[in-house]
Amino acid sequence: MNISVIGTGYVGLVTGTCFAEMGNNVICVDIDRKKVEELKQGIIPIYEPGLEKMVLKNYEIGTLNFTTDIKEALAKTDICFIAVGTPMGEDGSADLQYVLAVAKSIGENMAHHMYVIDKSTVPVGTADKVKTMIQETLDKRERDLTFDVISNPEFLKEGAAVSDFMKPDRVVIGAENEEAFEMMRELYAPFTHSHDRLVTMDVRSAEMTKYAANAMLATKISFMNEMANICERVGADVNQVRHGIGSDTRIGYSFIYPGCGYGGSCFPKDVQALAKTAKDYGYEPRILDAVEAVNYDQKRVISDKVIKRFGESLNDKTFGIWGLAFKPETDDMREASSITIINELTKRGAKIKAYDPKAEHEAKNHYLKDNDNIEYMGSKYDALTDSDAMILVTEWKEFRSPDFDEMKKRLKSAVIFDGRNQYNRKRVEENDFEYFEIGV
């Protein structure tokens, strides 16, 4: 099948590449000329396991191409995915300016029937706005062309996006007619041939499904973090509580690990956008507001523990930070807890030695570029040299079984603040470390 994907960010690049991997002819479109040229040279703008190799292979054999010319792309394809960003507006709503700009461009350049598919995470009712924009633009051109607008939300986990796309646990399709559903079944058949993973529904329900899924997962995280905070105050151990409730099959173990808050491109933005949508329709989303409020506070739990241990003034203190990305296996630092923790410490005079295997570039050039109190180190142990404590923020695999003897040699004082409850307390304390975790 002939497919165009508008937007070469995280979702667009993964989507286009995976469709190309299955033998489709894919053209990825972006207005950023520099990015397009770099993609043609094999320079991938994001880190995602398995993606670079797949992009290079499919570009080389010609199933995957990149361009800035949307007219050319639409002329050669009849399926068009919209995969541009929907950043959070000042009021918490999803900013649709890029989605609607693409819709207008489709209306200006399409020359035959198109299947227009919303892949971006968008509020309920966006497909109607896309449809209106395309139709109004066609009317101005005085072109009598037909098109379908379909909702096909993505459920990709950063760090496992390629695997998630190639082996989906479900593919949600929202459409208005059987022809559109049938086209989508054919498109996704190579990914779902062993099991029928397609879930079909109306367009608005499909749009809502994406937000509801992310809000549910965020709710589990904030709920467990709230339990951790209560455990800490009443003398219980949240790690034992987690095992106790996770063994209940109605609850399960997924997303009930306490930590220093969620981040990334999805959960913070989507929870707030869904809450804003609810309020726009006259409903007060009390649970969603609480989920976000708990997460806001949770990002400060580790810095509060550091301040309680070392004092409000940290002028003569240095802390080794392990992990900057919001989660392992990605370089994404959007809404990462590390940003809050580092800023809370440095504004009190602390110096930071930070190490992350993938996210250093993002920190230096974007999220922490204005913070002059950070030194970026080449290894996890280098970040501990002459530091007053180690702070674990991101649970990368290389941090799971550290050499505690080496850590003690490097650190000024044997102190660990564990923001992800990664370590066995008994083992840490046997190595004569002062150990601070969450919910204990």
Neighbours of 414 (CB within 10 A): 16
Q: Can you tell me which residue has the tokens 């165009």?
A: 4
Q: How far apart are CA 97 and CA 258, in angstroms?
A: 36
Cα–Cα separations (whole angstroms), residue 219 to 1, 61, 99, 108: 39, 44, 27, 41
CB atoms within 10 A of CB 111: 10
Q: In 3-state terms, what secondary structure has residue 434?
A: strand
Cβ-proximal residues to 345 (8 Å cutoff; 6+ apart), any chain: 303, 306, 314, 319, 352
HSE, side-chain direction, 13 A CA sphere, residue 361: 8
Distance CA 351, CA 374 (A): 6
Contact 278, 285 (CB under 8 A): yes
Q: How far apart are CA 58 and CA 56, in angstroms?
A: 6
DSSP state of 382: G
Is residue 353 within 8 Å of residue 384, measured between CB atoms? yes
Interior angle at CA 244, CA 240 and CA 247, nearest 5: 135
Write out the two tokens for 397.
Answer: 């695999």
Half-sphere exposure of 250 (CA within 13 A, CB side): 0
Helices 126-141 and 203-234 meet at what angle, rounded to 10? 150
Return the SS3 of 255.
coil
Q: At what angle do helices 267-280 and 203-234 cross, to 10 degrees?
A: 110
The residue annotated as part of the active site, out of 18, 28, 260, 266, is 266
Based on the residue annotation, tell me whether 266 is a catalytic residue of this protein: yes
**Direct distance between the N- and C-terminal alpha carbons of the chain, in angstroms, rounded to an integer:** 55
Query: Cα–Cα distance between 338 and 260 in angstroms, integer?
Result: 9
CA–CA distance, 419 with 436 (Å, rounded to integer): 9
Residues 119 and 156: their CA atoms lie apart, in Å, by 11
The SS3 assignment for 413 reads: coil
Active site residues: 266
